[in-house]
Amino acid sequence: MDVRALSEIGLRIVFGSLGLAAFGIFFGLVYKGIDRKLSAHMQGRIGPPFRQPFRDVAKLFVKENIVPDHAIPWIFNLIPLVGLIGTLSILVYLPLGGFPPLFSSGGDLIVVLYLLIIPSLCLVIGGFSSGSPYAIVGAQREMATMIAYEFPFAILVITIAWNLLQKGVTEVFSFSTIASTPVWNQVAGPLGFIGFAILLVVLLLVTPAELSKIPFDSAEAETELAGGLLVEYSGRNLAMFYLTDGVKTVVMASIIVALFFPYNLSALLGLGTYEGMIIDVVFFLFKVFLVVLFSVTLIRVSIARLKIDQIVYTYWIPLTLASLVGLILVMWDSVIMNFFTTA
Amino acid sequence: MFTLESGSGFWNPILWILVLLITFLLFYGIRGFGKSTYKKGTEQTKAFLSGNKEPSPEEMHIKASNLYWGFTTSMKSLYSVLRKMHTGNTSDYILWFVLVLAVLLLILGVM
Amino acid sequence: MTVLEALLQHSPALIIAIPLLSAFLLPLVSRIHAKVRDVFALVMLGVTSCFVGLLASDVLSHGPRIYIFGAQNLRVPLVRILFEVDSMGVFMAIITMMLAIIAVIYSWSFLHQEDGLDKYYTLLLLVVTSALGMELTGDIFNFFVFLEISCIASCALIAFWVTEGEALEAAFKYIVVSSIGALFVLFAIGIFYAQYNALNIATLAHLLLFTFLDKIALVILLVSLGMKAGLAPMHMWLPDSYGRAPPSIVLIIMSATLASFYGLLRVVFTFYGNVLTTSLRFSLPAHVVIGWILIALAIVSILIGVIMALVQTDLLRLIGYAAVAEIGYMFLAVGASIAALGTSYATVALQGGVLHILNDAVDIGLLFLVAGAIYYVTKKRSLDDLSGLARTMKFTTVFFIIGLLAVAGMPPLNGFTSKFLIYESVYQLNPILSIIALLGSILLLAIFVKVLYAAFLGPELPGLKDVKEAPKSMLLAMGFLAGLAIFIGLFPNLLLDTLVKPAVSALLDHAQYISMVVGGL
């Protein structure tokens, strides 16, 4: 490897990660503002202005950063930062706005599945380290929720990769492969289509739990646990968790878009390079908005919070069974279609 | 060279660490702009208990065996089966050994 | 012939002889001074490691080596034992030596107040000898002998804290379970000897016809070695004995357990290597049947291990159940690679499984050492009695967090590298296998986050106020394993290319193993 290639990679790492961090933070807060405004309107309230999340963060930075007596200070202070940077690092592996991933051969779907654990894990450890009973109850609930939704989520990820493998694609876990061969084009007949539709619904239902939104927010549960695992956090540490929440929304929505709707408009409209880029970015942001609307805003205004054992039950029994049905339908898809074409 | 390849995907730990390092430096700097002080030793630093008086640490401590209540409750039937299976009797340990041996002999014997 | 060449030529014998002889020298040495005894044990293990390293570099560059004890030529009466060392055996020997040295360093502080340490070190060296013997031998009866040595010596070591009733109970269970396992292995060896009049693995593999009796012997070897390795549902002895033995001893027993796992790999891949592709009834090849049997048991191990560990409150016992789950991952990878023998992903799965042997030793070993440190400073076993140790035990906390992330397979630590290879290969055989493997990892994370909270975070309890950090030699041992976990995680290819890939190709290339003996000698 010569100096030129090395310096190129170095520049990519530095500017790419800085740029993606800015992108993630900015749009995370924007979508948070949109979500709050929309849900307020749905509940017949006026709601805060769109830029309210930016103001919240600015305000949190001038508030006192309290470390409680029972907390372990070094873990308590470090964890919010680790959660934020861990979440931001996922963005370098995702295709965003029509562009291929920044490091498409640096990590794949399994890596992203694991990195998605980091924000929740940091919330959990942060809650445990604050030493307050409310926070500890909240943290253990968050962990139980994480165990619960990871089962259907794993089924979905493996099904998509397995289906691509059956179609003779190589490097099936790579995001560039998945984005260039959309799942809907890789089904042989109606069975596969139904299977993937079921899996899409499951993924949309996993998203609110991943983002700890109602009805799966028993870890924070303002009414009973007073904010749960965040109860002792304040000031800049809380700001870090606030930003993490925003970035996590963008990451999760981008994953859904990359897995199920990786289509772009520029090729369809036959636009030039720059117009095409702009159209693709706008279209991508619109797709992310739709995902946020359906799996966050609409669900959280229409359903009440579930109890923690109900959450575990929901994910481990009905949703796991649903995603297993999806998996079986996808597995039988090509078998049945082969049967019809040969018979 | 630094990328672990499985034939179906890849993972480059060094790259991830570098990305993490850069974002860490950036946000550690940004975090530095925030206010870092608070009033030590006042009501502020007590655990928030909705206005109730803070009990002693032993009473406030949530024990490890009470954790993950939601999971163990919804998986109650599974746990009752597993607890019955782990009797702690050496004869049962050997019974499981004989059982697995018999099943496998049956499978390979029929085959 | 230079001295180095002579040492290299006799290194397989020396690797067994040095720890064996120093084991029996130890009671004598310990009469001089306790310090001398400790240093002597470490130095002898160090010398053995040097020979393992010498042998490893030679085997990796020049292929398998044969070492003959007894008759050099084929003449009747033929009294001889063959050692056959290939890359896989060397890989396992390196793991054994690593665990042994760390255990001895850890024991210095951990057990310095106990008495009976001369016997302790003697037994420790005997278990190491037996594990090394199982990994290097080329003779099936010799394998049984070493297996028996490891059973008896491990049993005595588990009962080291003899004043506790549970330790005695665990030791009793261990000796019953493992000696029954070992006797069944002897039975299988009897079957082979009756049929083929041979005891050498390569010769037997060459002669094997896969008769009905051979099938019975295969099942017996699979089940009894599987039990010794801690495969569910025959895993119950493992949390009992891992939970009651001193944590430094757990590392040594773990090396014996992993040696049994190695024995199982040797049986399936080498012993039955020639006949794996023969068709059974329903035109199913034998390797598919054997592979799926192992996969089924592996899935049971992963699930039982993690689900039972989630509700344990005794820290050492909890880690014991987690160890059962980790064994399940190895069996999953191995089973998938046997079931899919010949495909490209079978090789990847086997690489993941073999790398996971090392990662399991490092991660579970590290967690046991941390648990031992907690026990050393607080004298408490139950997680319910612990809280807030992170205030005073900063290093131990950091090591535990590293162990936690590594055992749950979080990037960028070593557990992720091998699990990554396993997930991304076994799904090609059946997608559900990867799903269960992923689920098991999440549960492992939940289990150890609970431990992190219960032991290290939380409010400071009055009874634990004057707790101090663990002594230096224990920190050194933990730090070494933690550093190794990070190093393997960051540079997985370094290890994969130098050690794991040769080991995997040695396992898959049974023809070379057989021809080393059958062709020339």
The 10s digit of each residue's pLDDT in C495-521 is 889 999 999 998 888 888 888 877 655
Report how many Cβ contacts below 8 Å link chain A to chain B: 165
Contact A82, A72 (CB under 8 A): no
Residues of A in contact with C458 (CB under 8 A): 70, 128, 131, 136
From the list A189, A165, A188, A193, the residue with the least C-alpha distance to A178 is A165
Q: Which pLDDT score is estimated for C461?
A: 80
From the list C258, C333, C261, the residue with the least C-alpha distance to C295 is C333
% of residues, chain C, pLDDT over 70 = 98
- State how far residue B110 is from chain A, nearest Cα, in angstroms: 29
Neighbours of C469 (CB within 10 A): 16
Binning pLDDT at 50, 70 and 90, where does residue C118 land? confident
Q: Which pLDDT score is estimated for A85?
A: 92
Please tell me which of the candidates A16, A21, A89 has its beta carbon nearest to residue B16. Answer: A89
Interface test with B, best of A20, A65, A78, A85 (most B CBs within 10 A): A85
Q: Does residue A147 lie within any of the structural domains?
A: yes
Whether cis (ω within 30° of 0) applies to the bond prior to A182 is no
Q: Which pLDDT score is estimated for B99?
A: 93
Q: Does residue A152 lie within any of the structural domains?
A: yes
Report whether pLDDT(C27) > 60. Answer: yes
What ipTM was estimated for this complex?
A: 0.90
Rounded distance, CA C71 to CA C215, Å? 32
Residues of B in contact with A312 (CB under 8 A): 70-71, 73-75
% of residues, chain A, pLDDT over 90 = 15
Lowest mean pLDDT among B106-110, C216-220, C359-363: B106-110
Q: Which of residues 474-493 of C touch B (CB under 8 A)?
A: 489-493
* pTM as predicted: 0.93
Rounded distance, CA C415 to CA C52, Å? 25
Q: Please write the tens of the pLDDT for every residue from A17-29.
A: 888 899 999 999 9
Report whether pLDDT(C368) > 90. Answer: yes
Q: Does residue A273 lie within any of the structural domains?
A: yes
% of residues, chain A, pLDDT over 70 = 97
Residues of B in contact with A226 (CB under 8 A): 48, 50
Q: Please write the tens of the pLDDT for every residue from A27-46.
A: 999 999 999 899 998 888 88
Q: Is A202 on the interface with C (CB under 8 A)?
A: no
Number of domains within chain A: 1
Q: Which pLDDT score is estimated for C521?
A: 52
Question: Contact B96/C218, CB-based, under 8 Å?
Answer: no
Closest residue in chain A to residue B22, using alpha carbons only: A14
Rounded distance, CA C376 to CA C379, Å? 6
Whether cis (ω within 30° of 0) applies to the bond prior to C233 is yes
Q: Which pLDDT score is estimated for B5?
A: 81
Name the neighbours of B, counting chains with at least 3 Cβ pairs within 8 A: A, C
Q: Does residue A300 lie within any of the structural domains?
A: yes
Q: Please write the tens of the pLDDT for every residue from C268-324.
A: 998 888 888 887 777 788 888 899 999 999 999 999 999 999 888 899 999 999 999
Q: How far is CA A119 from the centre of its chain?
A: 10
Question: Contact C460/A70, CB-based, under 8 Å?
Answer: yes
Beta bridge partners of C460: none
Name the neighbours of C, counting chains with at least 3 Cβ pairs within 8 A: A, B
Site of tokens 């609307």: A293
Report whether pLDDT(A225) > 70. Answer: no
b/e per residue, A184-214, with b = 16+ CB within 10 A?
eebbbbebbbbbbebbbebbbbbbbbbbbbb
Q: What is the dihedral of CA C420, C439, C437, A85, to 10 degrees?
A: 10
Q: Please write the tens of the pLDDT for every residue from C390-412.
A: 888 889 999 999 999 999 988 88
Q: Does residue A1 lie within any of the structural domains?
A: no
Question: Contact A226/B46, CB-based, under 8 Å?
Answer: no
Q: Does residue A269 lie within any of the structural domains?
A: yes
Question: Contact C177/B97, CB-based, under 8 Å?
Answer: yes
Q: Please write the tens of the pLDDT for every residue from A278-322.
A: 888 888 899 999 998 888 888 888 888 888 888 888 888 888 899
Site of tokens 């159209």: A279
From residue B28, alpha-carbon distances to A85, C53, C304 in Å are: 10, 44, 42
Binning pLDDT at 50, 70 and 90, where does residue C186 land? very high
Please tell me which of the candidates B31, B67, B74 has its beta carbon nearest to residue A312. Answer: B74
Question: Contact C307/B72, CB-based, under 8 Å?
Answer: no
Average pLDDT over residues C68-76: 69
Could you list the residue range(s) of the whole structural domain that residue A262 is in? Answer: 11-342
**Secondary structure of residue A72 in the 3-state scheme:** coil
Q: Which pLDDT score is estimated for A1?
A: 61
Question: Contact C493/B58, CB-based, under 8 Å?
Answer: no
A167's tokens:
């179609």
Question: Contact C390/A75, CB-based, under 8 Å?
Answer: yes
CA angle C56, C131, C193 (to 5 degrees): 100
- State how far residue C106 is from chain B, nearest Cα, in angstroms: 27
Q: Does residue A2 lie within any of the structural domains?
A: no
Question: Contact A171/B68, CB-based, under 8 Å?
Answer: no
Closest residue in chain B to residue C241, using alpha carbons only: B88
Q: Which pLDDT score is estimated for C78?
A: 65
Q: Does residue A5 lie within any of the structural domains?
A: no
C459's tokens:
């409010």
Cβ within 8 Å of residue C197, ≥6 positions away:
none
